[in-house]
Amino acid sequence: MAGAKGRSGGARPGAGRPKKTPVVTELVDPLEFLRAVWKGELDPSPAQVKAAAAALPYVHPRKAPGKKEDGAPRTGGSKYAARQGPRLVSSR
């Protein structure tokens, strides 16, 4: 055993990882908050990250895949589109 009895081990001043900037307490856009966490600028609690990720779709909704911009012509249809009925033409 190294050191004197009762004096070895325990917390040492200055040991461990350096502290990051404090967590933002004001209201921030969830996307900007998550970007700051991703860059390592903030050190939030897991609950804060979970809450920001849950709020993200309400503030920044995704575009629906396959939707055309306004004014763009629509093409055919999909596999589930309503089909036309049979052509009723006589063969005489």
- Name the residue ranges covered by the structural domains of the chain: 30-59
pLDDT of amino acid 28:
77
Tokens found for residue 55? 């709020």
> What is the value of pTM for the model shown?
0.44
Rg (the chain; Cα; Å): 30
CB 23 within 8 A of CB 42: yes
Tens-digit pLDDT profile for residues 4-18: 666 667 778 888 888
Tens-digit pLDDT profile for residues 44-62: 899 999 999 999 999 888 8
